[in-house]
Structure formats: structure tokens, C-alpha cells
Amino acid sequence: MKAVTWQGPRDMRVEDVPDPQIVDPTDAVIRVTTTGLCGSDLHLYEPLAPFMTPGDVVGHEPMGIVEEVGPDVRDLKVGDRVVVPFNVSCGSCWTCSRGLHSQCETTQNREHGTGASLLGYSKLYGQVPGGQAEFLRVQFADFLPVKVPEGPSDDRFVYLSDVLPTAWQGVRYADVPDGGTLLVLGAGPIGDMATRIALREGKRVIVADRVPERLARVAALGAETIDIDAVDDLGTEVRDRTDGRGADSVIDAVGMEAHGNPVAEKLIKAVGLLPDKLAEPLMLKAGFDRLAALHSAIDAVRRGGTVSLSGVYGGAADPMPLFQMFDKQLQLRMGQANVRRWTDDIMPLLVDDSDPLGTESFATHRLPLSDAPEAYAKFRAKEDGMIKVVFTP
């Protein structure tokens, strides 16, 4: 089959790889019909290169049709239409039964000290072949895949794999008080979807980014916007708009690709060029994260407010402004989305004919899988008005 493979920093290629097989009796194999490109894939593209192996199949936002099921699969049938959550989670362990699917104890990666395995997401997360491919092996077939009805297009449902539950969890963790203001940092797919969810719940939402078309898109939904390049200081601008206090809650939907720290940018490039044996510990322990957005979040939140971190940070990082965090009595909540924890809560909004979250027009680009190498480069450079890309394998 054809699949998008990682070959080196900023080098994704569509290659022929072996078709996935049923390995465990509870597995299924799906034929992928739509599969997303995510800001998280950009971390693999460059900063997380030390944890990648040439040939790794990437992608973690797939949906499709069940082709084959293992002998112990009871409920899932060949022909079912499913979305596959990006956390490989069993549904029955101690953490899964507490709604913490991103920490699944059955698939945790103890040798790296990390949580549940993730589709297509490096050695740190199990090196599981990903979903930017024609076919995908799906573990825990009676629990993990979310069955979706026939009828509406794939665009309606595909974001259940990641974007929707991540944004949903971001908003839940942000815990915006009634009448309160939410600041969303980053107007990529995650920040944009979090904005839609919070606006629908009647919150005042301010979104900060620097890409004009991304800001325009959330402004059209009813958010206020801040172009971070047009203000001297983001925190001051937010306080000016919130009675001098700051936002009640902030969602960081940026992560380690943050713009604003040229020194760290150079270091990430340098680490990417080191042999993996040297680069891995450097990336994990010293950490070359770009913490610009997280620092903005901590600055722009009001005293007693909540910071909700959806953005992914890779290393052990630059020193955190811990004193300021403690002094401001912040609540900081974060983590990979517990996808399966939220999918039932979100589903009514997706089967609603009026499509209240605008999923049908959320993707700005639908491309054949063969265009993936160019799409990665353009998405990273934010060219061509590219906000969300989905591929048709």
C-alpha cells in the first residue's frame, strides 16, 4: 500500500510499504477514506526528529471502512464506517476506566516514561504505524474505533480522531466562568475549533496569532482577535481589554512550534542534525522548547485564572516561570486529549443537520495522499491559505 513515511528532518515521502495485518485476535484493519494533517505532525517533521526512524509511517487522524476483523472481535463488522482516535487505548485498564485514555496502562511506553501509544508518533509513543496510509491496523477493535452513521460526508466526522476531542478537552480544562473571557493562543485547527466550541457555549473569546487568514476565519465566527506582530506586548493588550486583569482562562494551542524565540529555533535545527544517540537525551533533558506561547499564557491570564495547555511541548524545557505561576495562584491543566472520553459528548453536534461546529467546511484543502510531501512543507510555512488539510488516500 501507499503511505506517508518520515525519511529525515523535513523529508516526508509517499512510499510503498507492506499492507497492515491482523496481529492480535482483537485487531481490525480499515481502509482509510480520509486522514488529517495536524500541527502535531509538524513536531515530527523537525524538532522530534531524534525519535524518528526513516520509514516510519506517520499520521494520526484517520477514518475509514472496516476491511477485516480478528477472530475475537464481536461488535465491529466488515463494512462499518469508523473514526480512529489517535490514542491507542484499551478501554478497560485502570486509567482508561477513569477517562484518562491518553495514559492507557496497557499501551504505556514505560521504557521512555511516556503515556499511551499514539498512532504514527515516534519511538516515544510506541512507534505505531500511522494513518496517512491506504490501510491501517486498529487495535482494541471492539472499543477504540468510533462508529459513525452513513450519510454525511467524511468531513463531518474525521475530526473526532483528534481536533474535536482535543479542542473540547482544552475548553473543559480551561473552565471559563460564566460571563468570563477565554484567550486562545494560536488559530490553527486546534485553536480555531476550541474557539467554535467556546463561542457556542456563550463565552467571550479573544484569539491571538500572526497569520492573517487564520485570524480572519475566527473573527468571522465572532471572536475578537489580536495580531501578535502588531502589538508591543500581548499581556498588556489582553489586560487592556479585560478591565486590567487579564483573561479568566487561556488555552495554549501553539506548543513547541511557537514563533518568538530565534535562539531556540537555531538549537532545534542543530539538535536535528546530531546523531540520535546524542540528540535524544539533549531533547528530553536539556530541552530546546520554544516556550514563547506558554510564557504569554502565564502572563496574559488573570490572577486566580486557569491555563489549559493543548499545545505539545517536547523536552524538559527551558526553566518555567514557576515563581510567577505560584505567585499568581494559577491552575495549569494539560495533556494529550483523552479522545474516547469525549467522543460521545461531541457526537450529537456532528449528527445535527445544521452542523453547528462547521465541520463540513473546516478543511481548507482536500488533497490526494501523493501530495503529502508538499502539503507538509506548505502547512509548516502557512502558505496557500492552508489551515487544515485532509488527504484522500
- Give the residues lining the site for Zn ion (CB under 5 A): 38, 40, 89-90, 93, 96, 104, 106, 162
Q: Cβ–Cβ contacts within 10 Å for residue 142, how many?
A: 15
Provide, rounded to whole angstroms, the least separation between the CB of residue 311 and ligand NAD: 4
The residue assigned the cell 472520553 is 341
3-state DSSP helix/strand/coil % of the chain, to nearest 5: 35, 25, 40
Q: How far is CA 197 from CA 114, 122, 218, 349, 368, in A?
A: 29, 30, 12, 10, 29
Which residue lies nearer to ligand NAD by CB, 47 or 180? 47
Sheet of 204-209, strands arranged across: 224-227, 204-209, 181-185, 247-252, 301-309, 331-334
Which residue lies nearer to Zn ion by CB, 104 or 369? 104
Question: Closest CB to Zn ion belongs to which residue?
Answer: 38
CA geometry: angle at 296 spanning 290 and 299, to 5°? 135
Q: 112 is in the binding site of which of Zn ion, ligand NAD, none (Cβ under 5 to 8 A by kind)?
A: none
Provide, rounded to whole angstroms, the least separation between the CB of residue 339 and ligand NAD: 8
Provide, rounded to whole angstroms, the least separation between the CB of residue 181 and Zn ion: 27
Q: 104 is in the binding site of which of ligand NAD, Zn ion, none (Cβ under 5 to 8 A by kind)?
A: Zn ion
The total number of residues shown for the chain amounts to: 393
Which residue lies nearer to Zn ion by CB, 28 or 38? 38
Which residue lies nearer to ligand NAD by CB, 26 or 89? 89
- What would the grid cell of residue 196 be? 467554535
Provide, rounded to whole angstroms, the least separation between the CB of residue 93 and Zn ion: 3
Provide, rounded to whole angstroms, the least separation between the CB of residue 229 and ligand NAD: 10
Which residue lies nearer to ligand NAD by CB, 271 or 337? 337
Q: 90 is in the binding site of which of ligand NAD, Zn ion, none (Cβ under 5 to 8 A by kind)?
A: Zn ion
Q: 188 is in the binding site of which of ligand NAD, Zn ion, none (Cβ under 5 to 8 A by kind)?
A: ligand NAD
- What would the grid cell of residue 100 be? 484518562
| Helices 212-221/189-200 angle, 10° precision | 10
Q: 96 is in the binding site of which of Zn ion, ligand NAD, none (Cβ under 5 to 8 A by kind)?
A: Zn ion
The residue assigned the cell 505561576 is 325
Which residue lies nearer to Zn ion by CB, 5 or 225? 5
**Ramachandran sector of residue 353 (left: φ over 0; alpha: ψ -120 to 50; beta: rest):** alpha
Which residue lies nearer to Zn ion by CB, 96 or 267? 96
Which residue lies nearer to ligand NAD by CB, 2 or 373? 373
CA 224, CA 189: separation in Å to the nearest integer?
Answer: 17
The answer for residues whose C-beta is within 8 angstroms of residue 40's C-beta and 6 or more apart is 60, 121, 162, 255, 312
Provide, rounded to whole angstroms, the least separation between the CB of residue 86 and Zn ion: 6
Count H helices and E strands in the chain, helices first: 12, 16
Q: 208 is in the binding site of which of ligand NAD, Zn ion, none (Cβ under 5 to 8 A by kind)?
A: ligand NAD
CA 323, CA 304: separation in Å to the nearest integer?
Answer: 14
| Cβ pair 184, 253 in contact under 8 A | yes
Q: 69 is in the binding site of which of Zn ion, ligand NAD, none (Cβ under 5 to 8 A by kind)?
A: none
Provide, rounded to whole angstroms, the least separation between the CB of residue 55 and Zn ion: 21
Residues interacting with ligand NAD, by CB under 6 A?
38-40, 42-43, 162, 166, 185-191, 208-211, 214, 228, 253-255, 257-260, 292-293, 296, 310-312, 336-337
Provide, rounded to whole angstroms, the least separation between the CB of residue 90 and Zn ion: 4
DSSP annotation string for 147-191: E--SSS-HHHHGGGGTHHHHHHHHHHHHTPPTT-EEEEE--SHHH
Going along the chain, which residue ranges are E strands? 2-8, 11-16, 28-37, 56-57, 62-69, 81-83, 135-138, 146-147, 181-185, 204-209, 224-227, 247-252, 301-309, 331-334, 365-368, 389-392
Provide, rounded to whole angstroms, the least separation between the CB of residue 180 and Zn ion: 28
Q: 85 is in the binding site of which of ligand NAD, Zn ion, none (Cβ under 5 to 8 A by kind)?
A: none
Which residue lies nearer to ligand NAD by CB, 309 or 369? 309
Provide, rounded to whole angstroms, the least separation between the CB of residue 84 and Zn ion: 12
Which residue lies nearer to Zn ion by CB, 93 or 138? 93
